[in-house]
């Protein structure tokens, strides 16, 4: 699996004592532990809510029937 580095933030500051420009930033390395298929993007909150509600109802139904 590939490892990907993502820069979260980067900036430059001037050191008050020596006058050098210092680069500061945060980088995160990401590595997938398993392959996950691409899911369709859902931008509608109603779709997300309806899916969650359907999963909850299916879980309750399964619990009722043992």
> Number of H helices and number of E strands within the chain?
1, 2
pLDDT exceeds 70 at position 41? no
The residue-averaged pLDDT of 41-55 equals: 77
> Torsions phi, psi of 23, nearest 5?
-95, 130
Residues 43-64: b if buried by 16+ CB within 10 A, e if exposed = eeeeeeeeeeeeeeeeeeeeee
Q: What is the pTM of this model?
A: 0.34
Q: Which residue has the tokens 């020596």?
A: 18
pLDDT confidence tier of residue 46, bands split at 50, 70 and 90: confident
Computed over every residue of the chain, the mean pLDDT equals 79
> Which pLDDT value is given to residue 60?
85
Number of structural domains (the chain) is: 1
> Torsions phi, psi of 28, nearest 5?
-115, 135
Residue 50's domain comprises 3-32+41-64
> Which pLDDT value is given to residue 26?
82
């Amino acid at each position: 699996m590939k490892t990907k580095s993502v820069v979260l933030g980067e900036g430059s500051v001037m050191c008050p004592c020596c006058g050098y420009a210092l680069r500061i930033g945060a980088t995160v390395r990401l590595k997938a532990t398993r392959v996950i298929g691409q899911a369709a993007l859902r931008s509608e909150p109603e779709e997300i809510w309806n899916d969650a509600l359907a999963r909850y109802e299916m879980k309750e139904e399964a619990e009722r029937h043992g």
